[in-house]
Structures are given as C-alpha cells and as structure tokens.
Amino acid sequence: MICCLLNAEKISAQIAIPDSLHIVSKKDSTKLDSDTLSTSFATITGDTSVNKSADTIDVSSKKEIETTILYSCRDSIRMNIAEQKVYLYGNAKVTYGDRILESEFMEINWATNEVKSYGGKDTVRGKTIGRPLFHEGSDMYSAEEIRYNMKSGKGIIKGIVTRQGDGYIQGGPVKKTPEAIYVKNAFYTTCNLPHPHYRINASKLKVIPGDKVVTGPFHMEIMGIPVPLGLPLGFFPVTRRSKSGVIIPTIGEQSTRGLFLSNGGYYWAVNDYVGIKLVGSVYANKSYLFSASANYVKKYGYRGDMMLNYSKVKNGFDDGTVAPQLYSVRWSHGTLGNKPSRFTADVNISSSKYYQQNSYNPIPYQSTNFASNVSWFKTFRNSPFSLSMSFRQNQNTTTRIMTVDAPDIALTMVRIYPFKSKGSDGAKWFEKINFSYAGTTRYSISNSLTNTSVGGAKAKDTIVSVNSGTFPLMLEQGKWGLKNTIPITTTFKLFKYFSLNPLFNYNQWVYADKLVYHDTIQNGRTTAVGVKTPGFNMAHSYDVNLTLTTRVYGMYRIKSNVLKAVRHTIIPAITYRYQPDASGNSNYFYKSDQIYSSNGQQTPFSVYQNSLYSGP
C-alpha cells in the first residue's frame, strides 16, 4: 500500500473523473469494470505543501461524468493509491455540479464512485462537530452519516433532517435516489422548532423534492402526546415556485417629507429562473422614488441581479424648492462553476447625492467611492495562454472625479520549458531554462482635465461634468499604453548543496505620445515644461538577477507521546541585481544645461512622465 499524507492550512484539489479508467502503473495495467470509477494519482503535480493553487489530476476516458469534481479540506488529505481512496480531514467538502457534500471527515472511493461522510467529536465539549450536510440545488440535508454515489446519484443517509417547502422532515435510515427520498421511522411537521409542538409520525415516507411528500399509515402527535387517530395514507404538496402578485406598500410618516406610501408595487415571476420587481414610494411633499429590479439564474451557467433606481425627492414642504433628479444603477453577474470562459460584472453607478437623499443604511450613505468592473476571462485548452478583458469605472462623489479604463486587456502565458524534450526528466541544464510572458494594454480617460503641461508650476485641474460637450476633451486627454514583460529563468546546482537561480527580465513599453520638453522661466527660475506630442514611441529596459540559496535542516526530538519532534528549515539567500541606468538615454529622459539638482547633477525629466505604465 502506498500512502501520501499532505498537511496544509487548507488543501484543495480539482479532479476530472471519467466513468471508467485504468490505473496508470508500470507493474499493473489491469482495467477496471466499466461501472467503476478510478483515477491515476501518478499524475498529481505541483507543490502541495502550501495552498498556492488547486492540484489537478488529469485522466482520460471515452465517456466522462458530466462535470468536474472538486474536493477540499482544512486539515489534511491522505491518499491510498492501491485502494483508490482519498481521506479528507477537517471541514471536508466535495462539489460535483450543484451537489455539495460537507462534513468533518470524508472518505472518497474512486473504484466505487462512493463518498462517505461523518461528523467528528469535540473531545473538550463532548459534542459532535462537522455534521454532514448535503446540498443539491436549493435542497439541503443534514444527517449523522451520508454515503453517496456520485455516478448513480443514490445514497444511504442516517439521521436525516431536511426542509421541503414549508415542512420539515426528520428520520432514518434513508435511501436517496436521483428522483426521490425514502425515509423510515420519519416525522413531518411545519413547526420550525427543534422540538416541534406537533408532527405526523409515519413508518414510511417518500419525498419527491420540490413536488410532494407521501406517507404510509401515520398518526398525529401534539405536544409529545400521540393522538389516538391514524390514517392509512398522507399526501402533502410542496410549493416552491415564486408567484406573481401585488406588493402591499408600507404606510408611515416622516418629519421632512410627511405621510408616505413606501415600496408598493408588483412582483412578476416570469418563470423559475427570472423574477422582476417594480416598486415605488410617494410622499406628501410631492417627492417620489421608483425602483425596478430583476434576478436571473441559469443552472450550471450563470447567476445575476440588477437594479435601477430613480428618485425626485426633497426635504421639507417649500414649494419653491426644486427636487433633484437622482439615479443609481447596480448590476451583479457571475459564471457558475469553474469554466474555461468566465464573465463577471459588478456595476455600481449613481448620482453624487443619491445615497445621501435615499438611503438609511450608514454604509452606502457614508461611502464616497463607487467602483464598477465588467470582465471576461478565457483560458485556452491545451495552451499555456489565457486572455482577460475588462471595463473599469471609478467614481468619487466628493471630488466628482471619475475615471474609466476601457478596455483593459491582458494576455498571459504560463511558464514553459522550450528545450525540454517530451518524456525527459529535465535533468540537463538547458532543459531547466524556462520563460513566461505577460502583456497588457489599457486606455484610460477621466473628467479631471489638465490645464497646463507637465513639468512647470501646474495649475489646478478642472473637474468637468460628463456630457456630450466635454466627452471629446476627455478623449483628447486620454492615455493609452502597452507593456510587455518576459522573464527568463533557470536553476543550477553548485557544490551539491547550493542552488544558483539566474533571472533575466525584459520590459517593453509602447505609447501613442510622449512629452517634448523646452526650458522656460517661471517665477525667476528656469524650469522644463513638457508638451504632450502624439506619435508612436517605444522604450525598453532589462535587468539581471542572480540568487544563491541553500537549505539548512534541523531536528529537535522530544520525548512525548503527543509530540515526537520539531523540524525546522533555514533558507539563506544572497541576491545580486543589475539594471542599466536609463537616465542618460536622451530618448527616454530630457536634461537641461540650465537645471541642476542640489548635488550638482543635471535633473532628468522623463518623457513618459504620468504615462500609464511609466517607463524605463
């Protein structure tokens, strides 16, 4: 038996599991039966001693389970490759599509596709901790013990507690199938107390989630006393679907706005996945507020909600006061599951005084910064590249400054080893050479317009309102830039115990303009003023780093039944870095014969000052 114990603060893994596989082994390649589930743990890669990223077990099969299975735990993971089992300790969690299983301890058997989960014992308080919880869609089941087959969707549950519609079910043992739940020695009640005032006791009970609860012979029990009256059959419908209807407004009075009708309107349940709510409020001082909101969800796809608020409110009853027209827009959207393509949105845009006028929540009322972000991320299969595109907007309601970055595009390539041949162990020195790539480009505009050129005595910027008249000026002062970064690194062993890690960094900048300087006299002093000049401009820089490291291990043994030894590691490092001085390059810096610093050196002025990514 081969076992592996991995300890970390939190350990997680991502597994793509097929319906039938064979264990990858040089000694044994016997295939499993087609209805079994296994995987090859020989393909685990990455440093599992720290929580850097989820480890991945790659497997191949002609027919795969519908989606990826994720598992994680707080304490440790123990793998038994021979028996094809994984043991999870401490806040264990397994996710498969919309099914989530949580418990203190869990055992996963890839040969039978079965997951067993149990609670733990608090040795100090003597209580059960980490009681198993099973989530399936909107249903949740609490139990003493759960055995669940991920492939068939069937399970055995002991001591179940679950809610169906307005009713609660408890009992056991339980058999679960994808279509129904069968409970023995069960009771059903609509009382939400731990010890309900009334309940229906049945020897057999069947639950069709989201539809109905059916029992065999049953009898009532009130305040713990059985009622001597029974029936041979029970039928209880489970109602979950949202219903359309009128929302009754709240009636009240405010000292500043008088009598009001608040949050009255209509809710429209379009279907099981989309709901729309339209509400409004009116006040005696002729103020009003309107709100439209919607929420939507697609199973295994995405989930989101949006809200549009418009108000025309004022405080007091002075007919001469004009109520300001204010608005706010909120939108939240997210992709469900770990997919190669993900779209997310978190939009929050509002008038500068909307929350001061309409919110009684102190958090948004006192907030002055509002940020919005809409992004799309794509990883390319069988490729080291990934692409992200985003739109960002930041707004400060106090300074009235708004900045917009659109688009912000990033292309990245994970580290590759170009000289490493397929199947090689990478022991040769040139096979250890690797490099990665990161490229980003962004266009940014702001309503804070600069009055003077960079360099001299700068006047205060002008904050303009965003409209059709000022937008061309904002575009004229917009900033665009592109930056490429390529780090190249390798490692060498020196004198058996030392590692030498050279690193070469190459950076490139591309801009659509730069500053052209000229000397001028301001307040009796000579200074340099830069004028923004359009044109294609490119800059480069590089640096070299050498790091020498080693590891020193120590072991302190302790004579104790609880603690055997303490092991420590010391990692000393010496680093040397070289980067050429770019201030002497006239293509990147301007030096005047009339302007010197306090140490007698000419003061350099960067032609890329205030650019998006600076420069060399």
340-366 pLDDT, tens per residue? Answer: 899 999 988 877 677 666 655 544 555
Per CATH, the homologous superfamily of domain 3-237 is Lipopolysaccharide (LPS) transport protein A like domain (2.60.450.10)
Distance from the Cα of residue 512 to its chain's centroid? 34
Distance from the Cα of residue 525 to its chain's centroid? 54
User: In the prediction, which pLDDT does 150 show?
Assistant: 81
C-alpha to C-alpha distance for 421 and 419, rounded to whole angstroms: 6
C-alpha to C-alpha distance for 477 and 562, rounded to whole angstroms: 68
The residue to which tokens 């980490």 are assigned: 130
- Nearest C-alpha neighbor of 154 from the set 171, 179, 183: 179
Percent of the chain scoring above 90 in pLDDT: 22
The predicted model gives 6-11 an average pLDDT of: 38
The two tokens of residue 346 are 């978190």
Q: Element (H or E) spanning 474, and its range?
A: helix 471-476
User: In the prediction, which pLDDT does 344 show?
Assistant: 92
Q: What is the dihedral of CA 580, 586, 590, 596, to 10 degrees?
A: 60
516-535 pLDDT, tens per residue? Answer: 888 887 777 777 787 888 88
C-alpha to C-alpha distance for 581 and 487, rounded to whole angstroms: 19
pTM higher than the cut 0.75: no
Per-residue HEC secondary structure of 258-269 comes to: EEEEEEEEEEEE
- Where are the CATH 2.60.450.10 domain residues in the chain? 3-237
22-31 pLDDT, tens per residue? Answer: 333 333 433 3
Opening angle at CA 288, ends 282 and 293, nearest 5: 100
Q: Element (H or E) spanning 226, and its range?
A: strand 225-231
Secondary structure letter of residue 430 according to DSSP: G
User: In the prediction, which pLDDT does 358 show?
Assistant: 64
C-alpha to C-alpha distance for 523 and 526, rounded to whole angstroms: 8
- Report the SS3 class of residue 572: coil
The predicted model gives 442-464 an average pLDDT of: 67
C-alpha to C-alpha distance for 372 and 355, rounded to whole angstroms: 16
Please state, rounded to an integer, the average pLDDT across all residues of the chain.
79
The predicted model gives 165-170 an average pLDDT of: 79
User: In the prediction, which pLDDT does 484 show?
Assistant: 95
260-282 pLDDT, tens per residue? Answer: 888 899 999 888 889 999 999 99
48-105 pLDDT, tens per residue? Answer: 333 333 344 444 443 445 566 788 888 888 888 888 888 988 888 888 877 888 888 9
C-alpha to C-alpha distance for 285 and 263, rounded to whole angstroms: 17
What size, in residues, is the chain? 616
